[in-house]
Each structure stands twice: as C-alpha cells, then as structure tokens.
C-alpha cells in the first residue's frame, strides 16, 4: 500500500509566489517553466497539488480576492451608501497606488491576450467581475430600501458605474497612472455621488 505522495513544498507559499508571477505577467504570459522555477517544484508536483495551471490560477485568484478585495467586504458592511462608495473608490487607490504591488489588477491583467485554449480562464474572470458587480448592486438595493439613495437612481445602473470605475482605475494604473491621479478619479466620483434624501429621523430634533 502506498504511503502517499510526500509534501515537497508549502502550498500557501506556492500560491503566494504564483500570485505575484501571474499578477505581473498575466495568465498566458506565465509559462509552466516560469511557475516551476518560481515555486521551486517539479511539474509533477504542481500537477499533483493543483491539477494544472488553470487550477493553480483559480487558487491564486481566490487568494487575491480575499486579500486585495477586502475593501469590498468592508463596503458591504458600511453603515451608509456614501461610506460604502468611499470604500469602493479608495480601495483601488490603496491597492494600485501601493508601489509594492505589480501594476494593475490581477483579475484584469490575468485575462489579457487569452486565446481560445484559455477560454475557461477568461470565463472564470468574467464571472468573478459579474459577482463583484452583483454584490455592489445588492448593497445599493439595500440602501434604496433604507432611503439612503435618491428614489430615481437605479441601483443596477449605479453598480455598473462603480464597477466600471473600479476596473477602469486598474487599467489606468497598469498604464502608469500615479496614486494622485487615481485619487482624483475617486474624488470626482464621490463628489458627484447622488445625495440621499434626509430621513425623518435626521430631520427630527431631540426632545
């Protein structure tokens, strides 16, 4: 009876190293040789641990979303829609303005130049973006029910607008935009964010 494959490397460390590589080079721009060299493992070990390159990339994206997308979770829990929007806008500024990070967004960079053979990866990344937009939409729908948004603004339209800004800032960063320039985009979005009507509670004075 086989004693099983001995663990040759630390999985978490391998995913973290692969994250940096995919972030800098994209999915197709990262070869299997690049991965095995960076992780210090054999192809057999990589396949045994992750299935294939696509499987490793999905693990990397899960790690990336948990770390880089933490501002999204905070926005979902924000007390007001304005505070949520502030987090949605400043989160990308902090992420892409950090010179320790590769330029751009892994979710965007990873899909660049994906050919037919990488269509599954492209679909997965598109699905992740759609889920992100859906989360924004649900938060804004809640805000509308709480009268924290003007009644004539569609949460779905606002969610698409914010999602476009979030990913647009990633594209700007990949093209060399500075932290100050990204902050400028966030400031404009916050300045023009629809003002919520005053609620009865806010208008009332303490007795």
* pLDDT tens by residue, 69-87: 899 999 999 999 999 999 9
Domain 69-196 belongs to what topology? Tetracycline Repressor; domain 2 (1.10.357)
Residue 62 near residue 71, CB atoms below 8 Å: no
pTM of the model: 0.84
pLDDT of residue 113: 53
The CATH code that applies to domain 11-63 is 1.10.10.60
Enumerate residues 6+ apart whose C-beta is below 8 A from 197.
147, 150, 151
Instruction: Give yes or no for residue 203 having a pLDDT over 60.
Output: no
What Å distances lie between residue 140 and 64, 92, 129, 133, CA to CA? 24, 19, 17, 11
Every domain range in the chain assigned CATH 1.10.357.10: 69-196
pLDDT of residue 13: 92
The pLDDT-based confidence of 194 (bands split at 50, 70, 90) is confident
Poorest-confidence range of 25-29, 37-41, 117-121, 158-162?
A: 117-121
pLDDT of residue 116: 58
CA gap 187, 194 in Å, rounded: 14
Task: Quickly list H helices, the chain.
Answer: 11-25, 32-39, 43-50, 53-68, 70-76, 81-97, 106-109, 119-145, 155-174, 179-191, 200-203
pLDDT of residue 201: 39
* pLDDT tens by residue, 114-132: 565 678 888 898 899 999 9
Burial class (CB in 10 A: 0-12, 13-18, 19+), 13: exposed
Every domain range in the chain assigned CATH 1.10.10.60: 11-63
Of residues 163, 123, 120, the one with CA closest to residue 139: 163
């Amino acid at each position: 009876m086989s004693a099983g494959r001995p663990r040759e490397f630390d999985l978490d460390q391998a995913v973290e190293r692969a994250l940096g590589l995919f972030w800098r080079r994209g999915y197709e721009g990262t070869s299997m040789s690049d991965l095995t060299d960076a992780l210090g493992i054999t192809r057999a070990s990589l396949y045994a641990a992750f299935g294939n390159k696509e499987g490793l990339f999905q693990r990397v994206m899960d790690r990336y979303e948990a770390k880089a997308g933490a501002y999204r979770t905070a926005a979902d829990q924000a007390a007001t829609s304005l505070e949520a929007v502030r987090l949605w806008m400043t989160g990308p500024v902090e992420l892409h303005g950090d010179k320790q990070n590769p330029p751009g967004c892994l979710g965007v960079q990873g899909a660049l130049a994906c050919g037919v053979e990488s269509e599954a990866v492209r679909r997965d990344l598109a699905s992740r973006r759609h889920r992100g937009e859906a989360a924004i939409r649900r938060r804004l729908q809640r805000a509308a029910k709480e009268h924290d948004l003007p009644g004539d603004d569609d949460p779905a339209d606002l969610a698409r607008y914010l999602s476009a800004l979030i990913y647009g800032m990633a594209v700007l960063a990949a093209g060399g935009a500075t932290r100050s320039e990204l902050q400028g985009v966030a400031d404009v979005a916050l300045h023009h964010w629809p003002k919520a009507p005053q609620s009865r509670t806010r208008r009332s004075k303490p007795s």
